[in-house]
Amino acid sequence: MPTKTTSTDSTDYDYLIIGCGIAGATLAHQAINRGLRVLVLHEPSLSHATNVAAGIINPIFGKRFSELWNRHELIADALAFYRALEHTFAQPFLYEHTQVRLFTSADERDYWFAKRAAMQPSVQYVSEHEIADQLQGAIEGAFGGIRIPDTYHVELDATLTALQTWLVAQGALREEVVEYSHICLKPTTVEYKGITARTIVCCEGWKALQNPLLSWLPLVPAKGELLTIRLNEAQTALPYLVQQGVFLLPLPDGLVRVGATYEWDELDEIPTEAARNNLSTQAAAVLRLPFSIVRHDAAVRPASDDRKPIVGLHPTHPRCAVVNGLGAKGVVFAPFVADALLDAIEYGSPIDETLDIQRFAHLAL
């Protein structure tokens, strides 16, 4: 392994991190556990994509039944990270599910049958009769579906609260509205309002477009909304994570999370009646059970235009690093990209070109 970078004695911190959503909080946690000095600047009034993330770790997604990029390593790293947090904080964060993805049409079912030879063998077809039997008539699945094991979800609200509380105890979290004009990048350090650090890492999600250092990033932010519902029939619980257009995610407290919408024009964090009606209608088309809405959330996801995370050192400012563009898959990508960035800065290890910010270097010039 290459030689580790040594800290500059004159600096206050090794890393000054902007943003404390799942990306920033995970990076801070991993850095501190490596013995590095960290300060996170967090704007408490600012919502983040974690607010609307279902926290689902899904090995297969999309209309074409695509496999998650680098699936085995990503999921292994994520499971190890969240299980370690459970041990550290003595509370549950990670839940395993069997997922049933319902076909929306006979054509989609036929597409899957044509493709299934390339799928992992544990993914199996489930007929409409099996669905009716296994889900006790609670779900409408006229075209059948597939059963996807090894699906997980992370309770992100609880996870992020635990991480932020831990960072406060470490003296590593400060509530502050970042003023970008005060960031001064020097050849070997970065300064911000009297603070010096070796590297500043920007993890502010879609708000990076307001950062003069990063306004060139090809982010395609998308507003997302989701509902939390309660099944009205007593003693009724949803046994599987179900997907058909929307996902129906059973939660530990017996509630069900329904999501999510995508909106690219109105980028705010205000829940809308249109999205509420849309999600409620789609949920009712799948569920055969009455339900009531108990919560409605909205936030903006920081997706990139190629739907891959953007990670690494700024192409023209080596004291500035970036973790962004995790989109709807932040829960599974965050541990992997945090360690990849730290390895790159501390040891000079290469970042996978699929994720490396250098793929967009021409936009920064």
Quickly list DSSP for 130-186. HHHHHTTT-B--TT-EEEEEEEEEE-HHHHHHHHHHHHHHTT-EEE----GGGEEE-
Taking the C-alpha atoms of residue 71 and residue 215, their distance in angstroms, rounded to an integer, is: 30
Nearest to 133 by CA among 122, 120, 123, 147: 147
Domain residue spans in the chain?
13-51+157-219+305-364, 96-151+220-301
pLDDT of residue 15: 98
Q: Classify domain 96-151+220-301 at the CATH superfamily level.
A: D-Amino Acid Oxidase, subunit A, domain 2 (3.30.9.10)
Handedness of CA 177, 178, 181, 183 (dihedral sign): positive
Q: What is the pTM of this model?
A: 0.93
CB atoms within 10 A of CB 178: 22
List the structure tokens of 54: 């279902």
Taking the C-alpha atoms of residue 273 and residue 277, their distance in angstroms, rounded to an integer, is: 6
Residue 267 Ramachandran class (φ > 0 left, ψ -120 to 50 alpha, else beta): beta
Spans of the chain, pLDDT less than 70: 1-9, 45-52, 118-121, 136, 234-236
- CA 306 from chain center: how many Å? 16
| Residue 336 contacts residue 24 (beta carbons within 8 Å) | no
pLDDT of residue 87: 98
From first CA to last CA, the distance across the chain in angstroms is 32
* H/E stretch holding 24: helix 22-33
Q: Which DSSP state fits 243?
A: E
Phi and psi (nearest 5°) for 304? -95, 165
CB atoms within 10 A of CB 47: 17
| Residue 192 contacts residue 311 (beta carbons within 8 Å) | no
**Same fold for the domain at 13-51+157-219+305-364 and the one at 96-151+220-301?**
no
pLDDT of residue 141: 86
For residue 9, with 0-12 CB atoms within 10 Å meaning exposed, 13-18 middle and 19 or more buried, which class applies? exposed
pLDDT of residue 232: 83
Q: Classify domain 13-51+157-219+305-364 at the CATH superfamily level.
A: FAD/NAD(P)-binding domain (3.50.50.60)
pLDDT of residue 48: 58
- The letter for the amino acid at 268 is D
CB atoms within 10 A of CB 132: 16
Rg (alpha carbons) of the chain, rounded to whole number: 21
